Amino acid sequence: MRYFIPILFFMSFLSCSKSGNKKVDISKINVKTDVQRFEQKFYANSPEKLNELKTQFPYLFPKGNPDSVWINKMQNKDEQELFAASQKIYADFSSETKQLETLFKSIKYYYPTFKEPKVITILSNVDYNNNIVLADSLLFISLDIFLGKDSEIYQEFPNYIKQNYTKEHMIVAVAEKFAVLKIPPAESNSYISRMIQEGKKTALVQAFLPNVNAAEIIGYTNEQYIWAEKSEVEIWKYFIQNLMLYSTDPELSTRFIDDAPFSKFFLEVDKDSPGKIGAWFGWQIVEAYLKNNEVTIQQAMLMNNEEIFKRSKYKPKK
C-alpha cells in the first residue's frame, strides 16, 4: 500500500440513435461491495474519536502531522459546510452502493480476475482533478465533486466542467478509472490513434455500464450528443480535407480531444459544438470495428489503434 492518498484528500431519455452496448448476464457473478463512509466518521465525530479513526484509516493520516492538524480540519467551518452539502445528497449511499456492485460485476464478467476494491467516500475540497482515486485495493470517491451542476459550490466553475458534477456521472467516472487500466499505451501519436485511444476507453465504459445512456457515458448533455450525431458527416469531411488523421500535431488534442467548452474548428460552428468531438469519433470507430469484425471487446482494447481504424470500415452515418 502506498500512502499517498492523504495528499489528494487533504489538499432520461436520450433521443439519439446509439442504443448502447449489449447487456450481459451478470446475475450469477459474486462480488463484495464494501463501502466505508470516512467523511461521515471524520466530520461528524468529536476530537476524542481521532485515534480510533487513525487506527481504522491509517492511510489517510500520514505520520509527522500532530493531532492538532486533524482536529482543526475536523472543526474547520468551510469544510463543515462542504460536509453538510454532501450529506444533503449522500447521507444515504445505498443507491450508489448498488450501482457500484453492478459495475464490479460487469467488470468481473469481462475480466474474471478482477478484484473489487474497498470503497471509501471522502471530501477533497473540490479537487476535481482527483474526483476518483484508485490506489491498489482502495477506491476513493470525492463526494464533493458530485453535488449537482447547479450547486452553489460550483458557481465559479465553467459549465463544461461542472455539467458532469452530478450523481448520475459518478458511476461513469468510477468506471473510467478501471477502463484505462485495461488499455495499453498507444503505439502511434497520430491524431487517428489518439482519437481511438479515447474511443477505446469510452467503449469499454459503456460495456461496463450498459444501462447508462450514451450521452452520460461520454459526458455530454443530450443536446450535445445529438449535435455530434447530426454533424458527423461534415466534421469527418473536415478532418479528411484538412489531412488531420495521420498528423502528429499535438494541438489537435487540445482542439478536439481534451475537455473543453467547445471543439475548435476555427469556424462559426465552434460556438454550437461540444468539446472533445475527436474522442466521440474515436468511440464511433471502435464501435464500427467491434461490429464489423469477429473480436471481443477485451481483444479490441489490445489492438493497434491504426489497425482498428483500417479494419473498422467506419463511415459517418448520413
Collect all residues with Cβ–Cβ distance below 8 Å to 3 and sequence separation of at least 6. Answer: 58, 59, 62
Q: What is the pLDDT of residue 318?
A: 75
Determine the Cα–Cα distance for residues 186 and 170; give it in Å rounded to an integer: 27
pLDDT tens sequence across 228-259: 999 999 999 999 999 999 999 999 999 999 99
Determine the Cα–Cα distance for residues 158 and 224; give it in Å rounded to an integer: 16
Q: What is the pLDDT of residue 1?
A: 38
pLDDT tens sequence across 104-125: 999 999 999 999 999 999 999 9
pTM, to two decimals = 0.91
Q: What is the mean pLDDT of the chain?
A: 93
Q: Left (φ > 0), alpha (ψ -120 to 50) or beta: where does 125 sit?
A: left
Q: What is the pLDDT of residue 11?
A: 38
pLDDT tens sequence across 56-78: 999 999 888 899 999 999 999 99
Determine the Cα–Cα distance for residues 173 and 169; give it in Å rounded to an integer: 6
DSSP string of 7-75, one letter each residue: HHHH-----SS---SPP---TT------EEEHHHHHHTS-GGGHHHHHHH-GGGS-TT--HHHHHHHHH
> How far separated are the first and last CA of the chain, in Å rounded?
51
The full set of domain ranges for the chain reads: 5-181, 185-312
CB atoms within 10 A of CB 15: 11
Confidence of residue 188 (pLDDT cuts 50, 70, 90): very high
Pick from 196, 142, 195: which is nearest to 169 by CA? Answer: 142
Q: What is the pLDDT of residue 153?
A: 95
Pick from 72, 16, 24: which is nearest to 298 by CA? Answer: 24
Q: What is the pLDDT of residue 21?
A: 55
At 78, the amino acid letter reads D
Share of the chain above pLDDT 70, in %: 93
Q: What radius of gyration, in Å, describes the C-alpha atoms of the chain?
A: 21
Contact 199, 229 (CB under 8 A): no
Residue 6 has pLDDT above 60, yes or no: no
